[in-house]
Structure 1
Amino acid sequence: MTTSEQSRTIAVVSAGLSQPSSTRLLADRLADAAVRELEDLGQVARVENVELRDLAHPVVDAMLTGFPSGDLARAQEAVTGADGIIAVTPVFTSSFSGLFKSFWDIIDPEALGGVPVLLGATGGTARHSLALEYAVRPLFTYLHADVVPTSVFAATDDWAASAADVGAGLPRRIERAGRELARRVAQRQGDGPADPFASSPSFTELLGGS
């Protein structure tokens, strides 16, 4: 399979509690931006949506028993098997939601090593935007994920501004973050990040050995 024919999977994890949810809306916008960029790079992209609201009870059960099953097990497989992840949480009391944190707590801590991750969050006011940097980003750094530089926070006022002006701050941040994720995903090979030294000759080859 050539690079242009490779199929990539993006797992989109949304922890919004309401329906409709601004958290899910942001997650969908970020996924659309990443998919567009991947297609521009000549790659087929598929999105797997994981709505944590529908998994709240199984998540608690798995925390108590240590054994996820059913829809939760399938959601975990979708996330740990993805080429890239978009993770979006509402901000409650200046941090990620309990449901969001609980889901990642029951993921194998070794399963996300090197996986590109794009972070997003929603909240009522821009004052909570730093929660992405002091709460959410450290969580995925602990999980050894490859977190892209741009994270996206959407406050209530951002949605009104973006609806009136497609060049407003939120759409620009979404496009930039989606582009960063897509490029990391496109560069990723096999089950881990691309090895910059993979094509380097061995010492035996340098010394003329067989």
Structure 2
Amino acid sequence: MSVKFALLALLSRQPSTTYQLRKDFDETTSNSWPLNIGQVSSTLQRLQRDGLVVRDEHDDDDARPWHLTDQGHRELEAWWADPVSPAQRGRDELVIKFALAVALGDLDVHDLVQKQRSATHRTLHDLTRLRRGLDADDIAGRLVLDNHVFLTEAELRWLDDVEETAARRRTPDATHHAPRTTPAAPRERSAR
């Protein structure tokens, strides 16, 4: 998730303080992506350095709203116009963790899968509870939570596949290095 573009999008609606931006972000995502105030502040400082936002001149730093610059508007418009590629989503730590566990060979992959499955089921339960609690007209919250639910369900299916693949590898008669072949058709007995 690009905090940079989330803040630019929120500022395109109206100028806001650092605290208001964090509150708006949390509300937009139904509090499903925790964003701390330090992250908002450091991102805004980088955006200011890059000429994408400016701040009003007031004595009280906390009350000084941020505004998009013309360059910030152009950057945001370019972001809206470009589809998000898989490379932009980053590396998935869970995938890397299981790839390493399987490659190292001396870890109990089944145990790792069970621990992750339990945590993922808890996450799914929490997301479902949050989704049920949404106001009917909170479309943004619904979109965010539905995405989390679908990804979490997909993760559970993937964990099933990891466990099955690792189990086949552990089977003593498994020939994971040999190519798979289909069994030959039974031979007919020749008449004597």
Shorter-chain TM-score above 0.5: no
Larger Rg over CA atoms: 2
Q: TM-score range by the shorter chain?
A: under 0.3
Higher RCO (CA-CA < 8 Å; seq separation 6+): 1
More strand by share: 1
Give the helix-richer structure, 1 or 2: 2
Using the size of structure 2 for normalisation, the TM-score is 0.25
